[in-house]
Chain A
Amino acid sequence: EEQLVESGGGPAKPGGSRRLSCAASGFNFRNYAMNWVRQAPGKGLEWVSSISSGSSYVYYADSVKGRFTISRDNAKNSLYLQMNSLRAEDTAVYYCARDWHGLDVWGQGTTVTVSS
C-alpha cells in the first residue's frame, strides 16, 4: 500500500522553528516529485512547496518563500520541511503529497500551532 506518514508537528512560538518529516512507503519514492500542502483551521487547502524527484528543482508559495526549506533524502524515502521564522498564520495541518496527475497520495497530516 502506498503510504505517506508525516511527523514533527507541535507548538512553536512566533519567530521559532519546526522541522516536519514525511516517511514514504509502498512506492518508489525516488521517482516522484513531492509536495507540502497546508490547511489552516477551518480554511481551505494551500499549496506550500514542491521538490523534484532528484532535488534539482524546488518551489515555494510566496507566503513561505525565504522562511521554509523543502528537502528530501531518497535513500531514506523521506521528505522534509524546515520552517523558520514562524508566524501565527503558519498555524495549520501540514500534509505531504505525491506529485502524480496532480497530487494523488496524501499523508494524514501533522499539526503545527504557532502561538506565544
Chain B
Amino acid sequence: DIQMTQSPSSLSASVGDRVTITCQASQDIGKYLNWYQQKPGKAPKLLIYDASNLETGVPSRFSGRGSGTHFTFTISSLQPEDIATYYCLQYDSVPPYTFGLGTKLELK
C-alpha cells in the first residue's frame, strides 16, 4: 500500500501569511493527489484535484503543485475562514485510498 507522509502536523500562522503543506508519497503516484479542507463537525471539502487543479468555486488563494512523490499545497494569503485541518489523498494505486494524517492550521 502507498503511504502518504504529510507535514507539518500542525501549523500556526497569521492572517495574510503564506502557508505551505507538503505530502510525500512512498512511491510514484503521478498527479493522482487531492487536497481537502475539513472544518470541525463538517465533511471534508475538495479543494485541489489531480495535484494542481482548483475545484470549481474554490478561492484562487489555494493552489497545489507536484508530481511523482512530492506535493505541496499553498494558501497564498491566509484568511480567518481558512482555519481548518487539511488532508492529502492519493488515488493512483487503489484500493486502498490513503490519506495523509492531516495538518491542523491555527491562527497565531
Contact = CB atoms under 8 A, between A and B. Distances in A.
Interface of A: 35, 37, 44-47, 50, 59-61, 95, 101-109
B96 A45 contact: no
Given A102-B89, A102-B91, A44 B102 contact: yes
Contacts of B100: 44
Contact of A103 (B53, B95, B97, B101): B97
Contacts of B46: 102-106
B34 interface: yes
A101 B49 contact: yes
Nearest to B102: A44
Q: Which 7 A-B pairs have the closest CB atoms?
A: A47-B97, A59-B95, A102-B34, A102-B91, A106-B43, A101-B49, A45-B99
A103 B94 contact: no
B92 to A, nearest CB: 10
Interface size class on chain B is 20 to 34
A44 B5 CA distance: 13
A78 B38 CA distance: 25
Nearest to B90: A102
Contacts of B71: none
B99 A102 contact: no
A60 B95 CA distance: 8
Contact of A95 (B43, B96, B98, B101): B43
B32 A108 contact: no
Nearest to A47: B97
Contact of B96 (A61, A102, A105, A109): A61
B99 to A, nearest CB: 4
A6 B44 CA distance: 14
Given A45-B99, A59-B96, 7 more contacts: A45-B44, A95-B44, A101-B50, A102-B46, A103-B46, A103-B97, A106-B44
